[in-house]
Amino acid sequence: MNGDFVDAAGGRAYIAVPDAGEGPGLLVLPDVSDNDEDRRKLGDFYAAEGYVALCPEVSAASRGTEEIAGAIAALRARGECTGKVGALGFGLGGKLACLAAAEASIDCAVSYYNFGTDFGLNFVSRIRCPLVIHFAENDPQIPPEALAGVKEALSKRPDAAVYVYPGTAPGFDRSTKPNYNKQAAGLAHSRSIAALRRAMGPHYDLEALWERHTTCEFATRDVAATMRTMVEEPYVNHVPVMTGGVGQHDLARFYAHHFIPKLPADTRLVPVSRTVGADRIVDEMLFCFTHDTEIDFMLPGVPPTGKYVEVPTVAIVNFRGDKLCHEHIYWDQASVLVQIGLLDPKGLPVAGIDTAKKLLDETRPSNTLMERWAENARRQNSNSP
C-alpha cells in the first residue's frame, strides 16, 4: 500500500491507499495519545484490509461533529475512494466514531473502548448506520452502570452490537500499547471487519484465494507463488508439532526445504466441510498419504515406514484484505502415530484410521474406546423384558 501525510480538513492527516489503488473510505480516528508513527501504523493496517484510510490528528479540544464532517468530506473527495465511507476510532476517537454514526452521513461505525458513549444516550435514536462498540472490561472511565446503559439503549437495534472483552483494559487491541491482549485484539478485529465488509465492502472471494494458495502448495508445488498469496509478514503454525514459520524469510525457507519437497508422492486432500467468514476460513478435511518420505512438517525425524495414513485435519486461515495472514493447522498426532506403527493403541484412549472413517460415515460405531459403554449396553439388554 502507499501512504503519506497530507493536509486534510484543515489539519494534518495520514492517508494510506490499498494496493488495488482504490477502495471504500475509512476514517480512522486515533486516541489523543497517538503520535505520527501510531497513525501511520493504523492507516497502513486498514489499507491492507482494502480501505482508503484517512487518519487525522485527534485532540482533547476536538470540535466533534464539525471536525468529523470535514474529514469525511475530504475522504470522499479523494479519487481513490469508491464511494462508501465508514469511521473507526479508539478512545476519544471512538467517541467521535459514535458521533459520526449519529450525526454524519457514513455507512458504518466502529468504536473501541471509547469514553463518553453514555452522554445521555441521546445519540442512539439518531444513529443512521450499523454500529459496533468494543469495551474493555477493566476500564476506569466506563463504570458497569454506564456499560449496562449502552447495552440496553442499543439492544433493540439489529444493526448495532456491543462487545465486552473480559480481563482487558483500554488499548487491548493495539500491539504498541502496554495493555495489548493479542487474543482479544484478534477477535475484536474480526468483528469489526465483518461489520465493515457487510456495510461497505470490499468483498473478497476468500475461497478462491485459499484454493489458489493450496494449489501452489500441493499441485504446482511452487514456493515463490505460494508466498505471493500471503502478506509481508505471514505465519504458519502446525499446532500438534509446532512446525511452520513466522515472517517471509523463515516461512519461505520452511516451504522450500521442509514442506513442499517433503510432501508424500500420493498426498491427497479430501474436503469435508468449509466455513467462510469475513476474514477467515475454517476448512475441515482428510489429509491422506503414504509415508514414503520423512515428513518434516508432520513427523520430523521419523524415517519412512511405507504405511498409508488418513487423518482428519482442520485449517483455520486468516486473511488480511486479499492475502493470507496466518494459518493454524490441527490434526490428531496420536492417530498418525498409531497408523505408522509408532504408537500401540492397546490400553490407550486413541484410535488410528477409524477416526477418518468415522468422520466420513457417522453411522460407524461410536464409543468403541469406552468399556463402560459396552457394559451399560449389556446391563440394559439383560434388564429388558
pTM comes to: 0.91
Range(s) of the domain holding residue 139: 2-200
Closest to 133 in 3D by CA, of 166, 169, 91? 91
Does a structural domain hold residue 385?
A: no
Single-letter amino acid, residue 223: V
Provide the CATH number for the domain around residue 256: 3.10.450.50
Provide the CATH number for the domain around residue 57: 3.40.50.1820
Does a structural domain hold residue 13?
A: yes
Check whether residue 350 and residue 251 sit in a common domain: yes
Check whether residue 193 and residue 271 sit in a common domain: no
Check whether residue 51 and residue 181 sit in a common domain: yes
Check whether residue 266 and residue 349 sit in a common domain: yes
Other C-beta atoms closer than 10 Å to the C-beta of 321 total 22
Check whether residue 120 and residue 248 sit in a common domain: no
Check whether residue 27 and residue 115 sit in a common domain: yes
Check whether residue 133 and residue 176 sit in a common domain: yes
Check whether residue 217 and residue 108 sit in a common domain: no
Check whether residue 166 and residue 129 sit in a common domain: yes
pLDDT tens digit string along 62-96?
666 778 888 899 899 999 999 899 999 999 899 89
Q: What is the mean pLDDT of residues 24-42?
A: 94
Closest to 53 in 3D by CA, of 94, 93, 23, 32? 23
Check whether residue 148 and residue 264 sit in a common domain: no
Domains: count for the chain = 2
pLDDT at 61 over 70: no
pLDDT tens digit string along 336-365?
999 999 999 999 999 999 999 999 999 999
Task: Identify the pLDDT of residue 338.
Answer: 98
